[in-house]
């Protein structure tokens, strides 16, 4: 068995694990990242597209924001299409000038990998059977296999950044772990196309046929979603059927401007709200999707991972550089307080904009009243705006 010594073992080489590893390295704190897939596989995922200003600042602090600042788009608002109308949420007006950055998670991950390579970061891909051990011991350790060889890394702390299906959360004893979940009765069928976006800003659409979202990755790469039944499969949807249904759910003046093209990616994501508590057990810390999942309606998935990483980054810094462990001791409570606010906002946006299969006429009237209230009240718009740009860390 090959043995390794480090300070922090990070399980998972997605955005959470890579960002934490990069931030720690810049403070001289050593880590090893263990990723079960290849780098190409990780970079092949098409996921989030909107970054809160907190995430943008973290990427800048990590020294890997150059391309994001050049190629990302600053957005000061977005639109909600409903009842044939298009109403704008002016994020900057309602938040004293705050905005969001439109820049794909794939590009964030690519930038993080390049930054890790430049610093000689230790990221092991294609690892199998990763197992955390001794979570309550002063020196926990992690074992894994790679290319048929057995490995062990002794460390001070383990961070589980291995997503919803990872091994870390399952390593917390069942009698300690509490899980809270809400599964929504629909999914999002997403399409990526090399076409100009239909609008300058994002459009969230509430329609009796179901939700739709017009987003983008650049001026020549568009990302669209429509709500579909959970029984649908991506292969059931031809490109022509997708574009026709998207147009039905958009106001005429928008549908008329939609430029269609072949899908270069097409997939269905289920929607769920999920939180695991606590986010710390002994010397294991959970971060990102390993601990919580939101429906993507509020663009909070990746952004909630970022605030976890912010708290862990400062907690490890204070521990190793100041001998102060209060940040680590308070991590779970602090992270969960912000996670639950993101869960609430994502749940609210999902209820506001989706057609629930079991919904009644009364539910539809309540939904319309929610939208009417939103666009008749500056206070309601300010509340939405401050959540969308990101609550304070």
Q: Which residues bind ligand PHB (CB under 6 A)?
A: 48-50, 202, 215, 223, 296-299
- Look at the block and give the residue holding tokens 């399980």: 11
Q: What is the DSSP string of 178-209?
A: EEEEEEEEEEEEEEEESS--SSSS-EEEE-TT
* Residue with the two structure tokens 């147009």: 247
Minimum CB separation of residue 82 from ligand FAS in Å reads 21
The site partner of 223 among ligand PHB, ligand FAS, none (C-beta below 5 to 8 Å per kind) is ligand PHB
Q: Could you identify the residue written with the tokens 């460390």?
A: 155
- Measured in residues, the chain has a length of 393
Residue 184 falls in the annotated catalytic set: no
Asked about 4 being catalytic, the answer comes back as no
User: Minimum distance from CB of 187 to ligand FAS (Å)?
Assistant: 9
77 contact choice in ligand PHB, ligand FAS, none (CB below 5 to 8 Å, kind-dependent)? none
Q: Which does 167 bind (CB under 5 to 8 A by kind): ligand PHB, ligand FAS, none?
A: ligand FAS
The rounded radius of gyration (Å) of the Cα atoms in the chain is: 21
User: In angstroms, what is the minimal distance from the CB of 259 to ligand FAS?
Assistant: 21
Task: Report yes or no: 287 and 312 within 8 Å, Cβ to Cβ.
Answer: yes
Known catalytic membership, residue 296: yes
Q: How far is CA 156 from CA 33, 135, 162, 227, 340, in A?
A: 14, 10, 18, 44, 28
| Binds 297: which of ligand FAS, ligand PHB, none (CB < 5-8 Å by kind) | ligand PHB
Which 8-state DSSP code applies to residue 296?
G
Q: Which is nearer to ligand PHB, 168 or 350 (CB)?
A: 350
Count of CA atoms in the C-beta half-sphere (13 A) of 339: 31
CA gap 177, 35 in Å, rounded: 24
| 300 flagged as catalytic | yes
Q: Are 101 and 73 in contact (CB under 8 A)?
A: yes
* Residue 197 contact, options ligand PHB, ligand FAS, none, Cβ 5-8 Å cut-off depending on partner type: none
Q: Which of 22/297 has CB closer to ligand PHB?
A: 297
| Interface with ligand FAS (CB under 6 A) | 11-17, 34-37, 42, 47-49, 105, 127, 130, 161-163, 165-167, 269, 288-289, 296, 299-302, 305
Q: Which of 79, 82, 207, 300 is catalytic?
A: 300
DSSP element (H, E) containing 223: strand 221-228
Query: Catalytic one among 184, 204, 224, 310?
Result: 204
Please say if 204 is a catalytic residue: yes
User: What's the token pair of residue 69?
Assistant: 């600042």
Least distance from ligand PHB to the Cβ atom of residue 297, Å: 6
Active-site residue, from 296, 319, 320, 334: 296
Active site residues: 75, 204, 296, 300, 388
């Amino acid at each position: 068995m090959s043995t390794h010594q480090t300070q922090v073992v990070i399980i998972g080489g997605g955005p959470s694990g890579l960002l934490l590893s990069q931030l720690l390295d810049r403070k001289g704190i050593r880590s090893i990242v263990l990723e079960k897939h290849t780098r190409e596989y990780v970079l092949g995922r098409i996921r989030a597209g909107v970054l809160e200003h907190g995430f943008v600042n973290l990427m800048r602090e990590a020294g890997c924001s150059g391309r994001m600042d050049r190629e990302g788009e600053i957005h000061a608002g977005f639109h909600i299409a409903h009842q044939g109308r298009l109403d704008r949420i002016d994020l900057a007006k309602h938040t004293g000038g705050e905005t969001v950055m439109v820049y794909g998670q794939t590009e964030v991950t690519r930038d993080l990998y390049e930054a890790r390579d430049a610093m000689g970061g230790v990221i092991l891909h294609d690892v199998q059977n990763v197992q955390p051990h001794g979570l309550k011991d002063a020196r926990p350790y992690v074992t894994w296999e790679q290319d048929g060889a057995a490995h062990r890394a002794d460390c001070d702390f383990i961070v589980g950044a291995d997503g919803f299906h990872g091994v870390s959360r399952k390593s917390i004893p069942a009698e300690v772990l509490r899980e809270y979940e809400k599964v929504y009765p629909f999914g999002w069928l997403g399409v990526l196309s090399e076409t100009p976006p239909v609008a300058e800003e994002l459009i969230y659409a509430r329609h009796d046929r179901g939700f739709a979202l017009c987003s983008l990755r650049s001026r020549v790469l568009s990302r669209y979603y429509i709500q579909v039944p959970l029984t649908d499969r991506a292969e059931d949807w031809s490109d022509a059927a997708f574009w026709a249904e998207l147009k039905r759910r958009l106001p005429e003046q928008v549908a008329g401007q939609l430029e269609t093209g072949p899908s270069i990616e097409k997939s269905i994501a289920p929607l769920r709200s999920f939180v695991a508590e606590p986010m710390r057990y002994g010397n294991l810390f959970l971060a990102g999707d390993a601990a919580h999942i939101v429906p993507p309606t509020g663009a909070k998935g990746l952004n909630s991972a970022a605030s976890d990483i912010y708290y862990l980054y400062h907690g490890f810094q204070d521990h190793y550089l100041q001998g102060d462990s209060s940040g680590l001791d308070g991590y779970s409570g602090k992270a969960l307080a912000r996670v639950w606010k993101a869960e609430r906002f994502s749940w609210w946006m999902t209820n506001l904009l989706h057609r629930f299969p079991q919904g009644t006429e009364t539910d539809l009237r309540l939904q319309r009243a929610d939208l009417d209230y939103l666009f008749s009240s500056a206070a309601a718009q300010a509340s939405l705006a401050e959540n969308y740009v990101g609550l304070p860390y």
